[in-house]
Amino acid sequence: MATRDYATDAITVHWDSEVCQHSGICARTLPAVFRPREKPWIVLSEASADEVASTVALCPSGALRYTRTSRSAVDDAGSDPFDAPPPAELSADAVTITVHRNGPYEVRGPSHVVGSDGGSLRDSSRVVYLCRCGGSGTKPFCDGSHNRNGFSDEGLGPA
C-alpha cells in the first residue's frame, strides 16, 4: 500500500495513491489545501481541520482518510461523518455493494479483499471500488479506466 500522511496538530490526512481514482472532488471543494499539480499536494495549513475533514469525507474512493489529533467543533457537534452511526436499517457490520452505471462496484462497509493466491490485498473499514471494465491497471481495484476506455453497461444486463 502506498499511503502517505500529511499532519498538523489538529488533523492527519492519510492518502492511499493505489486507491485514488483522481476524481478531483477534493481539489474542487478545497483548492487551497488539495493541489494535485504541486508538491506537496496537500497543504493542511490552508484550512481548518473541520474544513479538511468535511472535504475528505467527500472522497468517493476512500483514498483520503483522516485522523483527528485534537478535538474540534465538528467533533463536539457530533457531525463528523466518520463518527456518524450507520443507517438504522443496517447493522454496524453490514456491507453494501452498489453497481455504478458504466462504472465500478462500490463495496461500502468493513471488507477484506483476498487475491487469487489467498493473500490479503486490502482491508477497508469504509469503501473499496472494484473494477468492472477490465481495464484497470490496479486490478481488482478501480483506477478510473472505465472513464477513459468508454466502458458501458449496455448488453451486460441490469446495472
Q: What is the CATH number of the domain that holds 135?
A: 3.40.5
**What is the share, in percent, of the chain residues with pLDDT greater than 90?**
28
64 and 18, same structural domain? yes
Within 8 A by CB and 6+ apart from 19, the residues are: 61, 62, 63, 122, 128, 129, 141
| CA-to-CA dists, residue 34 to 55, 73, 115, 152, angstroms | 10, 22, 32, 31
100 and 34, same structural domain? no
Q: Tens digit of pLDDT for each residue in 134-155?
A: 998 888 988 888 888 989 888 6
63 and 9, same structural domain? yes
Question: Which range marks the domain in which residue 103 is found?
Answer: 96-149
pLDDT at 85: 40
Kindly report the average pLDDT of the chain as a whole number. 80
Mean pLDDT of 7-24: 88
Among 23, 43, 77, the domain boundary falls at: 77
- Global pTM reads 0.53
Mean pLDDT of 56-73: 77
What is the domain count for the chain? 2
Among 25, 49, 77, the domain boundary falls at: 77
73 and 14, same structural domain? yes
Question: Is residue 18 in a domain?
Answer: yes
Mean pLDDT of 5-16: 92
Given pLDDT bands bounded at 50, 70 and 90, which one contains residue 62?
Answer: confident
Interatomic CA distance for residues 44 and 62, integer angstroms? 18
Question: Is residue 82 in a domain?
Answer: no
71 and 120, same structural domain? no
pLDDT at 51: 94
pLDDT at 98: 86
